[in-house]
């Protein structure tokens, strides 16, 4: 690859699902949102690790910077071959010139997928089959019955309140040695703060308050408000079963990890991301 005409963006460190990794990924948006029509090389050479489910966040950042700012992104294969071949197995990287695609023969990925906000049936099938029928949950037979309906409500809230014409991004990955399945869902709409602030006539005025409001049980979509029982149930389910849960919206990341800060400042990227870490022992 001729890299002389490209702007090199050096990525580094260990990107495991959590506020610090989210911050690093959204910094790409912050770095390039003030320019237009650049050709950018994402350099993975110094990245020690990246959770594959975070491809949903990275893909959304690349999509917005391309759609709204005209940037083109490139990745040098030599930086990721061997170390990040998972990005081919989960579908984040497109086929090579000879159309060779690495097949997920380890049954660990929940494939990187973009959904139209009108693709209810496709999303239902993806969540029901690719996610909750994954072999990671063989010791958790009730998880599909417990959570499928609430994931569909979260998706319905995106359709109704996110006000986005862009895709919804989803990706998951099972880590058998840690007995964890991590799943990330991203929309690139208006986020929580503005719609909730308008609905509450200004009583909610910060991102922290908006996330708190959306997680409260009484604030449901049945009253035609953002948030609702889907998020509330996910929060309570994760708390009861010791799963990780993060919400990223309006420049803040809320996490249910009691050993860390509940709210972390991030770049104010459009929309909302939900990240879950299921403990599958």
* Full pLDDT tens readout for the chain, 281 residues: 555 688 999 999 999 999 999 999 999 999 999 999 999 999 999 999 999 999 999 999 999 999 999 999 998 877 777 777 778 778 887 655 544 433 334 468 899 999 999 889 999 999 999 999 999 999 999 999 999 999 999 999 898 889 998 999 999 999 999 999 999 999 999 999 999 999 999 999 999 999 999 998 655 534 544 445 789 999 999 999 999 999 999 999 999 988 767 999 999 999 999 999 999 98
With contact defined as beta carbons under 8 Å apart, do 184 and 59 qualify? no
Architecture of domain 7-92+106-279: 2-Layer Sandwich (3.30)
Structural domain boundaries of the chain?
Answer: 7-92+106-279
The confidence score (pLDDT) of residue 261 equals 78
CA 231 to CA 236: how far, in whole Å?
9
How far apart CA 248 and CA 107 sit, in angstroms, is: 28
Q: Is 71 helix (H, G, I), strand (E, B) or coil?
A: coil
Question: How far is residue 13's CA from residue 17's CA, in Å, rounded to a whole number?
Answer: 13
In the prediction, which pLDDT does 128 show?
A: 95
The rounded radius of gyration (Å) of the Cα atoms in the chain is 18
Residue 95 confidence (pLDDT): 52
The residues with which 279 forms a beta bridge, in sequence order, are 180
pLDDT at 94: 63
Residue 102 has a pLDDT of: 39
Per DSSP, helices labelled H in the chain are: 19-32, 55-69, 77-80, 86-89, 120-125, 143-161, 193-199, 207-215, 229-241
Whether pTM > 0.75 for this model: the answer is: yes
Residue 226's pLDDT is 45
| Helices 19-32 and 55-69, axial angle in degrees (round to 10) | 10
């Amino acid at each position: 690859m001729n890299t002389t005409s490209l702007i090199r963006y050096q990525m580094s460190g260990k990107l495991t699902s959590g506020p610090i990794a989210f911050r690093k990924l959204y910094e790409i948006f912050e770095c390039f949102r003030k320019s237009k029509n650049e050709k950018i090389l994402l350099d993975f050479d110094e990245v020690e690790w990246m959770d594959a489910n975070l491809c949903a966040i990275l893909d959304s950042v690349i999509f917005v910077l391309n759609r709204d700012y005209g940037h083109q992104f490139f990745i040098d294969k030599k930086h990721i071959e061997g170390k990040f071949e998972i990005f081919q197995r989960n579908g984040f990287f497109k086929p090579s010139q000879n159309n060779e695609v690495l097949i997920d023969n380890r049954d660990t990925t929940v494939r990187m997928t973009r959904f139209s906000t009108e693709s209810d049936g496709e999303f239902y099938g993806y969540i029901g089959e690719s996610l909750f029928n994954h072999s990671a949950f063989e010791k958790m037979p009730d998880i599909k019955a417990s959570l499928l309906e609430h994931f569909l409500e979260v998706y319905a809230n995106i359709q109704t309140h996110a006000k986005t014409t862009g895709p919804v991004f989803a990706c998951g990955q099972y880590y058998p040695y840690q007995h964890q399945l991590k799943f990330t869902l991203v929309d690139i709409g208006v986020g929580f703060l503005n719609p909730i602030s308008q609905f509450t006539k200004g009583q909610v005025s910060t991102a922290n308050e908006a996330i708190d409001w959306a997680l409260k049980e009484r604030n449901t979509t049945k009253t035609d408000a953002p948030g609702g029982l889907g998020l509330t149930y996910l929060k309570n389910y994760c708390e009861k079963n010791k799963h990780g849960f993060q919400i990223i919206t309006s420049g803040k990341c809320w996490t249910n990890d009691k050993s860390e800060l509940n709210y972390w400042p991030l770049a104010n990227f459009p929309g909302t991301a939900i990240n879950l870490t299921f403990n599958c022992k």
